[in-house]
Each structure stands twice: as structure tokens, then as C-alpha cells.
């Protein structure tokens, strides 16, 4: 049977760009998303790859749904040896103004959802003796940013989850790594970032711009490749235009 990479949140944004890049290099891909409209649009945009792509409606917070979807995909499409956890939500709110229900929902989708899919994939990969999991975290999980209490906490949790799972699965031939993007021009970011937020990013990112979803694909493909990154696990690749390493900016 063929081997495939399952990409959650794969019908839009960073997830879609990664899925598209995988297909363009000849891989089999399962695009998983909770939004039917996004899945329909992705299916239309990837008609030329129809033989190597499968579309699944998956709610990453529903463990039974995730398990059943993995079973169905492996039964009649391909063995899952790659996972990209890109499904996520976000919101801007100061800590003292963050509703507990909102905080819980962001943790549920971003952190718990990633754990559920990584656990299911890891269990299968461990049995097969090979696999690579790539978690899409965020620079907000590394550096504190105002109005990111819930979102930043969820992404920091993803980074620690990455490291713990990498430790536990290394001896079974399964690698677990993460990518921490900075500000990326996705639909979620366009909805989430105010004009003031965007100006702050522009002033703090040395490259002076937001990144593009397509600029995340190279790192993802590298981490998923058993040859290119065969000795790499438990690592976080930061793709943020230099934001996280910036001190005083040059004057003049």
C-alpha cells in the first residue's frame, strides 16, 4: 500500500500550502479539515492531483471521529506515515479580558486537537516502525505577545508536547518536530490581526513583512522527509522573518 501524509487544517492557509507542495512532489496526501466549504474549494483547486489526494472532514477535538477517519484512510487509501498538525484557531484579547470559554476552546482545538491526532498517528507509526509528525506551533509560543494569552499558551503547549513525544517515540523510528511561524498572511490572521497589530509586526520583524503560507512548505517537506531530516527530532524550526532573535533595531 502507498504511504501518505495527513494534514489537519489542510484545506486552507499553511496546511493547504503544505498539502499542495507534497502533492506536487508526487506524494499521497490526506487533506483533513472541519470546514466543508474549505474542503470543497480545496478539492476544486487540486483536481489535477485527484488520484493521490483524499479529502476527509475531521474534527480534531473528537477522538472517535479522528480514529474512525484514520481507520478509513488506511483501509482504502494509504498507510499514514506523515502527519502535519495545522488545524488551529486564534483570537486577540488581553489576559484580563479573555473569557474562560474562549481560552478553553483555543486550548481544545490547538493543543488537545493536535494531541489527539498526534497520539493516533504516533500509535500507528510506532507499530510500523517509521513516521514523522510535524506540529505547526507559533512564535507566540516562544515569545510573549500582548493579547495572546490563550493562543500563546496553546502554542507553547504544542512545543512541549512535540519535545515529549519526540523523546518517547524516538526509539520506535518516529520523529516529532515543530515549525513556529511568525505572522503569516492567512485568512485567520487577516481576521485576527487589527491594523495596529499589523503595524507592530511590521516594525518588529527585521524582514519588514508578513510571511506567505508557501514560505512554510520547505521546512515542512524537509521535516517529513525520512532522508533529509533522518537524525532530527524534538526540534522547533522558527520561520518568523527574524522576529524572535531581534534586539535593538538599526537606527536611521
Helices 63-76 and 113-128, axial angle in degrees (round to 10): 40
To the nearest 10°, the Cα dihedral for 117, 81, 48, 12? 30
The Cα 11–Cα 132 span in angstroms is: 20
CA–CA gap between residue 59 and residue 33 (Å, rounded): 7
Q: Which of 187, 201, 118, 188 is nearest to 151 (CA)?
A: 188
Query: What pLDDT sits at residue 194?
Result: 85
Which pLDDT value is given to residue 248?
Answer: 66
Residue 199 grid coordinates? 503595524
Provide the pLDDT for residue 33: 98
Per-residue pLDDT of the chain (252 residues; tens, 9 = 90+): 899 999 999 999 999 999 999 999 999 999 999 999 999 999 999 999 999 999 999 999 999 999 999 999 999 999 999 999 999 999 989 999 999 999 999 999 999 999 999 999 999 999 999 999 999 999 999 999 988 999 999 999 999 999 999 999 999 999 999 999 999 999 888 887 888 889 989 999 999 999 999 999 999 999 999 999 999 999 999 999 999 998 766 655
- The residues assigned a catalytic role are 151
Residue 153: per-residue pLDDT: 98
Task: Give the pLDDT confidence score for residue 19 in this predicted structure.
Answer: 98
Q: Which pLDDT score, from 0 to 100, does residue 251 have?
A: 58
Domains of the chain in start order, with CATH, are 3-242 (3.40.50.720)
Amino acid at each position: 500500500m502507498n504511504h501518505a501524509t495527513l494534514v489537519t487544517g489542510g484545506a486552507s492557509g499553511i496546511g493547504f500550502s503544505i498539502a499542495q507542495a507534497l502533492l506536487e512532489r508526487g506524494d499521497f496526501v490526506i487533506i483533513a479539515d472541519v470546514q466543508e466549504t474549505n474542503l470543497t474549494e480545496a478539492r476544486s483547486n487540486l483536481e489535477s492531483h485527484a488520484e493521490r489526494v483524499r479529502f476527509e472532514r475531521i474534527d480534531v477535538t473528537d477522538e472517535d471521529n479522528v480514529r474512525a477517519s484514520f481507520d478509513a484512510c488506511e483501509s482504502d487509501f494509504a498507510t499514514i506515515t506523515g502527519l502535519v498538525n495545522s488545524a488551529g484557531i486564534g483570537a486577540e484579547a488581553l489576559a484580563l479580558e479573555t473569557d474562560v470559554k474562549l481560552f478553553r476552546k483555543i486550548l481544545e482545538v490547538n493543543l488537545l486537537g493536535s494531541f489527539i491526532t498526534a497520539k493516533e498517528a504516533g500509535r500507528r507509526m510506532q507499530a510500523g516502525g517509521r513516521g514523522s509528525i510535524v506540529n505547526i506551533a507559533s512564535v507566540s509560543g516562544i515569545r510573549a505577545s500582548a493579547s495572546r494569552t490563550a493562543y500563546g499558551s496553546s502554542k507553547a503547549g504544542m512545543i512541549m508536547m512535540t519535545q515529549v513525544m519526540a523523546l518517547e517515540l524516538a526509539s520506535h523510528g518516529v520523529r516529532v518536530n515543530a515549525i513556529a511561524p511568525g505572522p503569516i498572511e492567512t485568512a485567520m490572521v487577516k481576521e485576527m490581526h487589527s491594523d495596529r497589530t499589523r503595524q507592530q509586526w511590521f516594525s518588529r520583524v527585521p524582514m519588514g513583512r508578513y510571511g506567505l503560507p508557501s514560505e512554510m512548505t520547505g521546512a515542512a517537506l524537509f521535516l517529513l522527509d525520512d532522508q533529509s531530516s533522518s537524525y532530527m527530532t524534538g526540534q522547533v524550526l522558527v520561520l518568523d522573518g527574524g522576529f524572535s532573535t531581534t534586539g535593538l533595531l538599526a537606527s536611521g
